[in-house]
Amino acid sequence: MPSTHYSIFSVLREALRGHTGWGPAWRDAEPKAEYDVVIVGGGGHGLATAYYLAKHYGPLSIAVVEKGWIGGGNVGRNTTIVRSNYLLPGNIPFYELSMKLWEGLEQDLNYNAMVSQRGVLNLYHSDAQRDAYARRGNAMRLHSVHADLLDQAAVRRMVPFLDFENARFPVQGGLLQRRGGTVRHDAVAWGYARGADRLGVDIIQNCEVKGFRREGGRVTGVETSRGTIGTKKIGMAVAGSSSRVAAMADLRLPIESHVLQAFVSESIKPFIDGVVTFGAGHFYISQSDKGGLVFGGDLDGYNSYAQRGNLPVVEDVLEGGMALMPRIGRVRLLRHWGGIMDMSMDGSPIIDTTPVEGLYLNAGWCYGGFKATPASGYCFAHLIARDEPHPVARAYRLDRFATGHAIDEKGMGPQPNLH
Amino acid sequence: MATADRRGNGRQPNRLETGGLIDRSLTLHFTFDGKTYVGHPGDTLASALLANGVRLTGRSFKYHRPRGILSAGSEEPNALVELRAGARREPNTKATVAELFDGLAAASQNRWPSLAFDLMSVNSLLSPIFVAGFYYKTFMWPAALWEKLYEPLIRRAAGLGRASDDSDPDTYEKATAFADVLVIGAGPTGLAAAQAAARTSARVILVDENAALGGRAIDDVAEIGGNPSHEWVKIVEAELDRNPEVRVLRRTTAFGCYDGSTYGAVERVSDHLARPGPGVPRQRLWRLVAKQVVLATGATERPLVFGNNDRPGVMLAGAVRTYINRFGVVPGRRVVVFTNNDYGATTVTDLTNAGAEVVALVDSRPQPTAEVQRLADTTGVRLISGVVTGALGRQTVSGARIRAHGGDTVELTCDLIAVSGGWNPNIQLTTHLGGRPVWDDRLCAFLPGALPPRMSVAGAAAGDLILDKSLAGGIAAGSAAATESGHKAVAVPVPASTAESDAITPLWRVAEPDGKAFVDQQNDVTAKDIELAEREGFRAVEHLKRYTTLGMATDQGRTANVNALAIMAEITGRSIPETGCTVARPPYTPVALGALAGHHRAKSFKPTRLPPSYRWAKEQGAVFVETGLWLRPSYFPRPGERDWLETVSREVTTVRNAVGICDVSTLGKVDIQGPDAATFLDRIYMNGLKTLAVGKARYGGMLREDGILMDDGTVARFGESHYFITTTTANAVKVVQHMEYCAQWLWPELDVQIVSATEQWAQYAVAGPKSRALLQKVVDPTFDISDAGFPYLGIGEITVGGIKARLFRLSFSGERAYEIGVPARYGDALIRRLMEAGAEFGVCAYGTEALGVMRIEKGHISGPELNGTTTPRDVGLGGMVSTKKDFVGHVLGKRPGLVDPDRPALIGFRPVDRSARLRSGAHFIARNATPTAENDEGYMTSVAYSPSNGHWIGLGLLKRGPERIGEIVRAVDPVRGADTLVEVVSPVFVDPEGGRVRG
Amino acid sequence: MRIACPHCGERSLDEFLYSGDATVRRPDFASPTAMDEFIAYTFERTNPAGPHRELWYHAAGCHAWLVVTRNVATHAISSVEPARDVALAGKPETKDGA
């Protein structure tokens, strides 16, 4: 009999028989002619949506169609950080729901995604930055999300390896969210896929959407590279490619696609416990459970659908890194790569219906998508099932730009590469 | 340095008497795990260890199995060490690329207490549990134990070497170079390509990761052009070194291909020395920009997958030849050669010539080729048609178990198993821009697919493994690249070379191996792990990699990826192309983070901009603050003052009662001229400017197109078609960019020119009731600066001591005030002159703190209010916005969300308890409401202790703020533990009538 | 990436700042449908995965705004023109890029 439940006991049992009893983590499903709901995009958000739809709103027949292999987009290309240290009321409750879902994820999915709450520390280097972080920390506290404003001494105790002596922009303190941390990114996709599969969701890989079937202003199905699939509800969760897929339904979105690079060093003995974000340059860093320093910085800054960036940003990121922690100079960069971000016009996402009836949109995640995965799936499932927004995702409307209700955390305006 | 008196110390049991490119006349001493050994210049740490008979060099990542030296190059998965000590300690250095220097100290990693007796090798016993991905299936219960127990244990075991505990003491630098032809790799192909290109007089850059040029021309024994191949290398090298158009970068790895034919390369300038010389960097980052690129990166040999194929003493056949031929080291005395191709088989010749005994040549092919038969015949080596099923020996190889194709099994004693599974062309740089490799069935390897623009590939990297074809390919590619880059072709003959054979029949894994058969040695991924991944559905190449961690180690899977892919293909019954391909990401080999940062660290992280009065302010003992890139005086403490607050209050009081001077040169200054300048500015600013008279200034605000405030400042009109505007310090660059955008793109028909003058003018605010008296002593007397001649908001060109200057009657402080500007080079002189002239009036200099206090006292907005989310109405400037004209932001500023009367709007605050301190970032809650998000009504943007009022004051954005004057609300600040009752008051705390500015 | 500035020659990416889509043009504020037009102009993008007409600013050079035609899937640049020339040439060629 195959082992389906994951636990130390099943691992020990399988160890005795050479691990021959494990089955596929998810079925490689063939598309059926029709589903109640088709989710386009087998990334973290799409798989989470399918999982929560099946779990909370069933019985429904649900398919996830994925152009390549699941988890191949940004859920597999990010720097694994989770946090809910947002500023604006449109964002905090949503990301806090996500944090709460992360906190129970492994038991829910029976899959260890290594949710690791070792803290996220945002450094400040000036009085103005301190006050801005105080405002943010207070906003979080008013939403019952804990945050601590640390002075320099406290930061020094936490992360003694920063350059406190000779910095161009001396560290004055930081805003700490202790519940923030990291999650093993690939495992999130696999865990949701396995969870959804066990609830009957068909996960269909190598199935590219070619178009939407519409009758009288509402969807009737999707055309795919593996044939047409009938459905009355389609959920689009294809961040990075949202504009391209939306164009198949004649929609233009408030989104540009931009490349964000990510970096990992050779594996070294862990010395960085949590996530540290530089406040005077584009650099943030954590260290994985395998020992690699995982870090990143700013967008390359130009529209791109190529999953790679260029050398100036590589240099810019490492300049920040060496300015912040000059002891990493002799550690080596192992790989750098790029992911395609749905950069929205205000830096915040969209979870909404569209002018096409039956077509639902989950897009515009900028580089906040990974941490949002559980709540995004949860709220998108709610929207698709109920045709009304989940209360914590109410602000993520598509028409907010027209009405003047932008959710602009950074105050950068309609210039996507500045968010 | 190596010295003659040390010559001859130490025994190197595996060092050959002659041969190799090492200098036996000098002896270098080094230590490994504390034990002293000797080697020679030209050695790598690996070759020196092998010469000394050291075979065990490390432990594997997960199972802590003993590991030795597999390769002789940058693909090494096993022989990783911590090199050097203290602040220069560098983790995970490959012993195979670390050049030996006298005094080198290296230590093995990831073992405890010692390399030979590693207690962590208990993990090996648990290996039935620690299979690929086991951690996703467990450590989940109870949830609280993850962070408290499981993860700390995992993290303690994680990682290989240790980063230094101190700042890197060495320096790095960056350089850019341009070439007609960039040749990457200086093996036979690259040398031939560079030679051919250079002869056309093209500008050539040749890079190679090794210290010595030559690649396999120095690793193997061959003839080129009638010379031994290593002699041919010297001849070509000399020719290239003589050519002034050729730059040869040794010890330089081209690690990445980027857009625009830009290549990142890192030159290890000083890594072969104990420490860099004075003024010399450790490494140099090159950005190489080339019209044409020839990729001649050669190929990497694949290991074979059989039982215990990770034992120290199992070595790539090509590495064995390299150690013999380049380093004069024979890595084993009794050797089994195991190959699936003709080229690997030739190793028996090198071994035999080096005096080693080859106990068997095991060829996995059903029928050995004529070439192999010939080799066996000429060397007299026993040829076995079969496979090695397992290496024998606990810590190092002591024998090989061989299964002939007939089924007979034999165990042979040996101390080295030289393996060759074929070759992977080093095509990584062809894939960095998204090119997909193409499978070649004959070579059993991936070849370059679509190439980056302006790149060609030659030699082994293009699949031409044999010498003759490599040389021809190199010459053709070098010539073509030179021609493409605009140079006239020069015919270069292909030199004759030794005949070779590259015949191969794939063997991806040995069936029924005796022991664990490793595919990725560093990450401990076995063939069985690949089977498990397949069973669990992780069949896509990327799933396989991510699930098993295959190819993710510091060797980037260079010896693992293709074997793994082929095994997955075998298991699933698909072809290799159907299974997928592996695409590399930069860097080609790991690059020190310090090199990518260059000199941009510590104080040099970013440039420092110094205002014109910097030197003077420094002399006064000013305390400075970083304002963007500027370093501005924050305040000017005087002896006896207890703290900053006392100093700042004194400066404010002096301005309000006498006169003070502040360097405001950091404000953005833009000169705008042209017949359409007036029209242009009218479209940029939200308020009307058409009525601004010559000789006058006006406050102005500009919006983004979405109706949000972008910046504010003053607009001065010096002539009909000449304006001079100021911006905030923070937005100086952004405003110029915006204006250029408007002038060039939105309204190109307007005749207007824009030039930034921020750096060109030193500008000082002279503020306070006695400011005019002071200025009258400074401004040349021909200019009338009386109130009649120079009223509030008047401006004019003046002279100061005959120097051309500008005077503006503007006030940020709320007092009678002027700004006086001189060309920046007179800035230092002017501050001294102003202070001297002001002495009789009790003048003081004031910094950004006092500036901030006074603007808050006057309710003027600044950075915290101009935060990119506020409208003019939000900050009390709604009345300024023109309703008639077109200007940027006009239309979208009318969107409902931006005109909602419930939006927080600017208002003043003072503590009910006047002794209470206020803090920016506190949120406003109605007095009787509970502090929750639902009751959040805005936040405090700016606070100051007002000496004029004798208590703290604040500005803030409060829901319907201006309607609530007199109301008492809570300013809650939970992150700092404060909850203060504040009264809503006018945002103007000083001189609300505004009489003082007019004098 | 390197951009051939018509005034300065080919320069490295880090000298330039990017602003975005050059196919959207600022509407007439007096149009009766100005609000809708400005919303589309400011917020809605075709964002194609191929050739893209886009605005760059030679910030560390001559301060020229440039219209660059670049394939955003490959980053290959096919033309660089002074934005002023493009703007003066009248309305954009096509709404969806070159």
Q: SS3 for A284-338, per residue? A: EEEECCCCEEEEEEEEEEEECCCCCCCHHHHHHHHHHHHHHCHHHHHCEEEEEEE
Under an 8 A CB cutoff, do C14 and A345 touch? no
Give the residue-averaged pLDDT of A201-209: 98
**Disruptive mutation site among B745, B758, B883 for chain C (greatest number of C CBs within 10 Å):** B745
Evaluate if residue C96 carries a pLDDT over 70.
no
Q: Looking at per-residue confidence, does B140 or A131 come out higher?
A: A131
Produce one character per residue of B422-441: b if its CB has 16 or more CB atoms within 10 Å, e if not: bbbbbbbbbbbbbbebebee
Element (H, E) at B819: strand B817-823
Q: Which CATH number among 3.30.70.120, 1.10.357.10, 3.40.50.1970, 3.50.50.60 corresponds to the domain A23-81+185-254+346-418? A: 3.50.50.60
Closest partner residue to B737 (CB to CB) among C2, C12, C57 is: C57
Query: Distances from the Cα of C37 to the Cαs of A251, A323, C27, C31, C91, in angstroms?
Result: 16, 45, 6, 9, 15
What average pLDDT does range A267-278 have in this prediction? 96
Q: How far apart are the CA of A44 and the nearest CA of chain C, in angstroms?
A: 22
Q: Do A291 and B136 touch (CB under 8 A)?
A: no
Residues of chain A in contact with residue B524, where contact means CB-CB under 8 angstroms, are: none
Q: Mean per-residue pLDDT for B905-917?
A: 98
Q: Provide the token pair at B57.
A: 């060099």
Q: Are A230 and A33 in contact (CB under 8 A)?
A: yes
Question: In this complex, is the C-beta atom of A345 within 8 Å of any C-beta atom belonging to chain C?
Answer: yes
Contact A115 B605 (CB under 8 A): no
**Percent of chain A beyond pLDDT 70?**
100
Task: Give the separation between CA A381 and CA A50, rounded to whole angstroms.
Answer: 7
Cβ separation of C13 and A310 shorter than 8 Å?
A: yes
Nearest to A168 among B536, B602, B974 (CB): B602
Q: Which of B524-533, B577-586, B785-794, C42-51 has the lowest mean pLDDT?
A: B577-586
In whole angstroms, give the CA distance from residue A88 to residue B656.
Answer: 39
Residue A305 near residue C48, CB atoms below 8 Å = no
Q: Would B4-134 and B303-421 be classified into the same CATH topology?
A: no
Distance separating alpha carbons of residues B175 and C78, to the nearest angstrom: 28
CATH code, B614-666+760-854: 3.30.1360.120
At the top level of CATH, the class of B901-998 is mainly beta
Q: Smallest Cβ distance to B128: which of A15, A116, A175? A: A15
Nearest CA in chain B to C54: B745
- What pTM does this model have? 0.96
- pLDDT digit string, tens, across residues B355-378: 999 999 999 999 999 999 999 999
Preceding omega of B303 cis (within 30 degrees of 0): no
In a 3-state reduction of DSSP, which class is residue A350? Answer: strand
pLDDT score recorded for residue A49: 98
CB B651 within 8 A of CB B763: no
Answer whether residue B1 shows pLDDT above 60.
Answer: no
Q: How far apart are the first and last CA of chain B?
A: 77
Top-tier CATH class for A113-181+256-343: alpha beta
Q: Do B919 and A111 touch (CB under 8 A)?
A: no
- CA A253 to chain centroid: 20
Half-sphere exposure of B819 (CA within 13 A, CB side): 22
Quick count: other Cβ atoms within 10 Å of Cβ A64? 33
Task: List chain A residues with CB under 8 Å of B174.
Answer: 315
Task: Say yes or no to pLDDT of C92 above 70.
Answer: no
Question: Would the CB atoms of C12 and B744 count as touching at under 8 Å?
Answer: no
The full set of domain ranges for chain C reads: 2-88
- CB–CB of A327 and B167 under 8 A? yes
Looking at residue A125, the DSSP 8-state letter turns out to be -
Find chain C residues with C-beta within 8 A of A415's C-beta: 19-20
Query: How far C11 CA lies from chain A's nearest CA (Å)?
Result: 12
Flag whether residue B434 sits within 8 Å of chain C, measured between CB atoms.
Answer: yes
Q: What secondary structure, in 3-state letters, does B587-637 show?
A: CCCCEEHHHHHCCCCHHHCCCCECCCCHHHHHHCCCEEEEECCEEEEEECC
Question: Residue B579: its pLDDT value, please?
Answer: 94
Contact status of B740 with chain C (Cβ, < 8 Å)? yes
Contact with chain C for residue A418, Cβ under 8 A: no
- Residues from chain B contacting residue C27 (CB–CB below 8 Å): 891
The 3-state DSSP class for residue B472 equals helix
**Dihedral (CA of B582, B583, B588, B590) sign:** negative
The domain made up of C2-88 has a fold known as: Folate-binding fold (3.30.2270)
Kindly report, as residue ranges, where domains of CATH 3.30.9.10 are found in chain A. Answer: 113-181+256-343
A256 and C21 within 8 Å at the Cβ level: the answer is: yes
- Report domain extents, chain B: 4-134, 172-299+425-484, 303-421, 614-666+760-854, 669-756, 901-998
pLDDT (average), residues A196-200: 97
Structure tokens at A221: 């199905």
Arithmetic mean of pLDDT, B527-548: 95
CB contact under 8 A, A252 and C46: yes
Whether residue A336 and residue B594 make contact (CB cut-off 8 A), yes or no, is: no
Q: Hey, CA dihedral for B64, B69, B70, B74, is it positive or negative?
A: positive
CA distances from B426 to B288, B323, B445, B465, B552 (A): 19, 21, 10, 11, 17
Digit-coded pLDDT (tens) for B67-101 = 999 999 999 999 999 999 999 999 999 999 999 99
C28-68, pLDDT tens digit by residue?
999 999 999 999 999 999 999 999 999 999 999 999 999 99
The whole-number average pLDDT for the span A59-71 is 97
**Pick from B110, B31, B14, B34: which is nearest to B66 by CA?**
B110
Q: Which residue has the tokens 């004798």?
A: B950
> What kind of architecture, by CATH, is found in domain B172-299+425-484?
3-Layer(bba) Sandwich (3.50)
Mean predicted lDDT score pLDDT of chain B: 96
Nearest CA in chain A to B543: A69
B899 touches chain C (CB under 8 A): no
- What is the model's pLDDT at position C98? 36
**Residues of chain C with C-beta less than 8 angstroms from the C-beta of B433:** 74-75
Cα-Cα-Cα-Cα torsion B563, B566, B568, B570, nearest 10 degrees, comes to: -130
Place of tokens 């350059």: A163
Q: In 3-state terms, what secondary structure has residue B662?
A: strand
**Pairing status of strand B709-719 against strand B630-635:** unpaired
Tell me the pLDDT band of B323, cut-offs 50, 70 and 90: very high
pLDDT score of A1 more than 80: no
Helix (H), strand (E) counts: chain A:
11, 19
The set of chains that have 3 or more CB pairs under 8 A with B is A, C
Percentage of chain B exceeding pLDDT 70: 99
Of B79, B65, B135, give the one whose Cα is nearest residue B108: B79
* B749 CB within 8 Å of a chain C CB: yes
**Strand, coil or helix: A150:** strand
Are A304 and A340 contacting, i.e. CB atoms less than 8 angstroms apart? yes
Show the tokens assigned to B139.
């450590």
For residue B919, give the chain A residue with the closest CA: A131
**Where in chain A is CATH 3.50.50.60?**
23-81+185-254+346-418
Residue among A414, A344, B889, B746 at smallest CA distance from C35: B889
Region B656-667 average pLDDT: 98
CB contact under 8 A, C73 and A310: no
Topology at the third CATH level for domain B303-421: FAD/NAD(P)-binding domain (3.50.50)
Structure tokens at A309: 């960036």
Q: Do B741 and C59 touch (CB under 8 A)?
A: no
Neighbours of B872 (CB within 10 A): 23
Option in A116, A291, A412 nearest B151 (CB): A116
In which residue are the tokens 């209010």 written?
B865
Residue A212 corresponds to which tokens in the numbers above?
A: 């939407």
Considering only alpha carbons, which residue of chain A is nearest residue C43? A254
Cβ of residue B671 closer than 8 Å to a chain C Cβ: no
C39/B892 Cβ within 8 A: yes
Q: Quickly list DSSP for B264-328.
A: EEEE-SSTTSSSPPTT--SEEEEEEEEEEEEE---EEEPPP--BTTTSTTEEEHHHHHHHHHTT-
**Looking at the predicted structure, is the pLDDT value of residue B728 above 90?**
yes
Contact criterion met (CB < 8 Å) for B587 and A335? yes
Kindly determine whether residue C83 and residue B744, on different chains, have CB atoms separated by under 8 Å: yes
Over range C59-85, report the average pLDDT: 97
Mean pLDDT of A62-67: 98
Q: Is A141 within 8 Å of B974 when comparing Cβ atoms?
A: yes
Q: Given a contact as 3+ CB pairs under 8 Å, which chains touch A?
A: B, C
Tokens 């393996």, located at residue: B419
Interchain CB distance below 8 Å, A149 and B976: yes
Domain B4-134 belongs in CATH node 3.40.50.150:
no
How far does C37 lie from chain B, in Å, by closest CA? 10
Cα(C19)–Cα(B781) distance, integer angstroms? 49
Q: What is the distance between the alpha carbons of residues B372 and B360, in angstroms, rounded to a whole number?
A: 12
Distance from CA of C74 to the nearest CA of B (A): 8
What is the average per-residue pLDDT within A376-396?
A: 98
